[in-house]
Amino acid sequence: MDRRSLIKNAGIAGVLAAAAAPAVHAQQAVRWRLASSFPKSLDTIFGSAEKFAQTVKALSGGKFEVSLHAAGELMPAFGVVDALENSTIEMAQTAPYYFTGKNSIFAFGCAVPFGLTARQMDAWMEHGNGRKLFDAFCANYNIKSYSAGNTGTQMGGWYRKEMKSVADLKGLKMRLGGGLFGEAMAKLGVVSQNMPAGDVYQALEKGTLDATEFVGPHDDQKLGFNKVAPYYYYPGWWEGGAELEFFVNAKAYAALSPEFKEIVDVATRVAARDMTAKYDAFNPIAIKKLVADKTQLKAFPKDVMDAGFKASMEVFAEHEAKSPEFKKIHQDMRSFQRDQLLWERFSELRYNQYMTSVKL
């Protein structure tokens, strides 16, 4: 393998894997299929899968290639876990909380109400107990997990009517991405509906939906939600930092050579960092455009936040009572979160509060 070419194509990942180049040359060619739960139009999320495949190919000198398939091409958006469990595909890119219908623990691989921010999630997963606990759970589904990137704290969604108090949530027909948030919102009277992002615009336009949440300004603008729902609320208290995941078929991973396993490990890190950086770079640009197009930005009233917190804690308590495994993971996450919040009182929080109060 030409090392200058490798470094040019894969950046820092190339440097990390350069030593493996002679061994990679001797490998048999490997071809994987990756099914995403997202459309190609989402350059942030689907772009993470693209970055992963590009990096794998570069680091392996073309010996290891991953073909990418957007939602609906190989299977429905929410069919990827079944496909991995049955070894129909080698890999998927998805939001784990889409699969809480199978088991509520899936939510911890993505986001839970009043959960971790992007940096906190990285810390818990990679240097706390998060990845170890989540992978032990995913083993039941023939899956090994990796971060595919994080959206950061999301927006609270698009509404056809103004939400002046918690009473306005009663009877609201809302598209929810999945996870424990839907259960918490049901306690507040919301009628939750889970559907792929591509179907939401038409449902809002026809009035079969009153509201939707998705991600944040960059992605939401691409989907055009501002044209059919003028009120844009914040913050998305159910997704303080939503992590997208690469799910890898455990048998396919085990069959890889040590060198190719390392390439998968490195390529996921490159892709995850790229996705999170894109969101931080692109969201400020998009929110200015949305406001210029008459989007009405609104903070959730305090009674909505308080009611959401109370309902969420009730949901967690109910799941803990039913599942010792859920309780173990949830309590570990909250213990980690408490330490993170303590530290941020003296670091990010104070710094950002000051910086948003001065004129640059």
| Sheet with 173-175, edge to edge strand ranges | 191-193, 173-175, 211-212, 157-159, 231-234, 296-299
> Is 183 labelled a binding residue?
no
Alpha helix locations (H) across 18-140?
21-25, 45-59, 80-85, 118-127, 130-138
Q: How far, in Å, CA of 292 to CA of 83, rounded?
A: 43
Strand residues in 16-172 grouped as ranges (E): 30-36, 64-69, 91-94, 143-150, 157-159
> Is 350 labelled a binding residue?
no
**Cis (ω within 30 of 0) for the bond into 301?**
no
Residue that has been written with the tokens 């991973």 in this structure:
253
Angle subtended by helix axes 3-10 and 45-59, to nearest 10: 170
> Is 239 labelled a binding residue?
yes
Closest CA to 108 of 98, 124, 96, 120: 96
CB count in 10 Å sphere of residue 87: 12
> Is the torsion defined by CA of 80, 81, 87, 92 positive or negative?
positive
> Is 262 labelled a binding residue?
no
> Is 175 labelled a binding residue?
yes
Known binding-site residues for substrate equal 154, 175, 213, 239
Known binding-site residues for Na(+) equal 214
Known binding-site residues equal 154, 175, 213-214, 239
